[in-house]
Amino acid sequence: MKTVTMKFGGTSVGSPEAISNLVDIVKAEHDSGSRVIVVVSAMSGVTDSLLSAAKAAAVGNKWGYLSTSEKLRDRHEDTLNILMPPGRVREKTISQIKSLLDEFTEICHAVSILGEETPRIADAIVSYGERMSARVVAAVLKSKGIESTAFDAGDFLVTDDHFQSAIPVWEETQRRVNEKLIPAIMQGITPVITGFIGATSTGAITTLGRGGSDYSGAIFAAATDSAELVIWTDVDGVMTTDPRIDRRARVLPYVSYQEVGELAFYGAKVLHPKTVQPVLDKGIPIRVRNTFNPTYAGTLIGEMGEPSATIIKAVTSIRNISLLTVSGKGMIGVPGIAGRTFLATANAGASILMISQSSSEQSFCFLVADATAESVKHSIETHLHEEIARRDIDRVDVRDDVVIITAVGAGMAGTPGVAGRVFSVMGNSGINVLSIAQGSSECSISFVVAESDLEKAVIKLHDLALESVPN
């Protein structure tokens, strides 16, 4: 008997209609003889509202978090009332939702008294979204005849204490999965596990970062040796580009782990970038499917780049980034300036999305999120003040009106001329390319253009992708 892990995102549990589709999907898989593990996000919008409630609490806005609590109670209760007949299970679940929200308001009270919200407290507060949705989904499944139990992921998923982007502790997680989760599945229970959250070994609640329930799905799929991980979402699959930029965007029937990793890193919103990590080693395929179009096969993500003429498969873009350029004639042949610049960047808490250096070594540039750009500049100026005083470095410039465009496709590796084609398309379209980088995996090419050129660059490059994707 095979086990299938199914992760349902926020919109896929966000309304009674969505949850009833979920029930049909899980039931069909279950009835075909699989064991199913369900991993859920919070209902759509709930994570954002919990985080704003925490902010409201920190500034003493009591009404802010109390009204959030009211709205969340109504939404979860209404969902249960619509989907389930009256009775013991429904009443019990409604009272569980109520006590979770009572805990939530108590924490908010404490925050409002202290006037401070730490990352640890934010994780505790935001965890209630998934904890409520898991209980609702398990109760509804039960009422439809599927033996189901809600679990808080902290029971199994042990992480470090890096609150808000915690890292799993694999051995301990595997041990707990073997001890507590596998036996439940063996007994015929369909577990409904909270996505996004985990706990430290001492029990403090952590989260894996925004959008992290995809990653949770992958962690549980790997730890239970699932035959497949299905990411149920609100689009038909991984697309050739963002359909809001180019309406000709199509669903890709197949992409490799590596390609989807690049796509996620470079701005496609399909999957949390860490999702492939846990399933990759075990070769567990991922399927991205649409809860609202469940007969559609979606996108299969697996081991190999498919042997086809497809060179550029998909085009993505990232907005809200800044280009930092460090320049100076005194940098030529001086080791360590780039290294210390990146260290200064890390100290400012920023991660680097792309780097490039010209061979003349008179400047190099890199990209960070807009929100961190000024503090990165400041940190570089502090760490390298001696070089700046000596004029080895002339300037640290920040440009925030830029975007990264990325073309992805495993077929690029070893195919000469792809970069040439990409940049002649840009040149012929009158688009100025500010900086270029290609990963050594040769699975993607990224470059920077002015924000005002974004649409044009994506559409022109997407022409190349469409040449080879079946209609």
Question: Rule CB under 6 A: which residues touch ligand ASP?
Answer: 9-10, 41-42, 47, 129, 195-196, 210-213
User: Minimum distance between the CB of residue 166 and ligand ASP, rounded to whole angstroms?
Assistant: 13
Q: Give the residue with the Cβ less far from Mg ion, 265 or 447.
A: 265
Q: Give the residue with the Cβ less far from ligand ASP, 196 or 266.
A: 196
User: Minimum distance between the CB of residue 122 and ligand ASP, rounded to whole angstroms?
Assistant: 12
* # residues contacting Mg ion (CB under 5 A): 2
The answer to whether 148 and 141 have CB atoms below 8 angstroms apart is yes
Q: What whole-number distance in Å separates Cα of residue 134 and Cα of residue 10? A: 11
Q: Give the residue with the Cβ less far from Mg ion, 64 or 195.
A: 195
Q: What whole-number distance in Å separates Cα of residue 126 and Cα of residue 48? A: 8
Q: Give the residue with the Cβ less far from Mg ion, 7 or 460.
A: 7
How distant, in Å, are the alpha carbons of 25, 94, 417, 465 from that of 80? 18, 8, 57, 45
Q: From Mg ion, ligand ASP, none, which one binds at residue 129 (CB under 5 to 8 Å depending on kind)?
A: ligand ASP
Q: For residue 64, which amino acid is it?
A: G
User: Minimum distance between the CB of residue 9 and Mg ion, rounded to whole angstroms?
Assistant: 5
Considering only residues 209-268, where is the footprint of Mg ion by CB under 5 A?
A: 211
User: Minimum distance between the CB of residue 272 and Mg ion, rounded to whole angstroms?
Assistant: 6
| Count of CB atoms situated within 10 Å of the CB of 335 | 7
Q: What whole-number distance in Å separates Cα of residue 101 and Cα of residue 106? A: 9
Q: From ligand ASP, Mg ion, none, which one binds at residue 356 (CB under 5 to 8 Å depending on kind)?
A: none
**H helices present in 32-87, as ranges:** 46-58, 62-83
Closest CA to 121 of 216, 53, 196: 53
With residues binned 3-state (H G I as helix, E B as strand, rest as coil), the percentages for the chain, rounded to 5, are 45, 20, 35
User: Minimum distance between the CB of residue 127 and ligand ASP, rounded to whole angstroms?
Assistant: 10
Q: What whole-number distance in Å separates Cα of residue 288 and Cα of residue 298? A: 6
Q: Give the residue with the Cβ less far from ligand ASP, 21 or 47.
A: 47
Owner of token pair 């108590």: 106
| Among the residue ranges 2-10, 81-89, 248-256, 356-364, the one whose residues contact Mg ion (CB under 5 A) | 2-10
Q: From ligand ASP, Mg ion, none, which one binds at residue 210 (CB under 5 to 8 Å depending on kind)?
A: ligand ASP
User: Minimum distance between the CB of residue 53 and ligand ASP, rounded to whole angstroms?
Assistant: 14
Helix and strand tally (H, E) in the chain?
15, 16
Asked whether position 298 contacts Mg ion by CB under 5 A, the answer is no
Q: Give the residue with the Cβ less far from ligand ASP, 45 or 253.
A: 45
Element (H, E) at 182: helix 182-186
Q: Give the residue with the Cβ less far from ligand ASP, 157 or 331.
A: 157
Owner of token pair 């015929």: 188
User: Minimum distance between the CB of residue 195 and ligand ASP, rounded to whole angstroms?
Assistant: 6
Longest Cα–Cα distance of the chain, Å, equals: 78
Q: What whole-number distance in Å separates Cα of residue 176 and Cα of residue 156? A: 5
Q: From Mg ion, ligand ASP, none, which one binds at residue 42 (CB under 5 to 8 Å depending on kind)?
A: ligand ASP
* Chain positions contacting Mg ion, by CB under 5 A: 9, 211
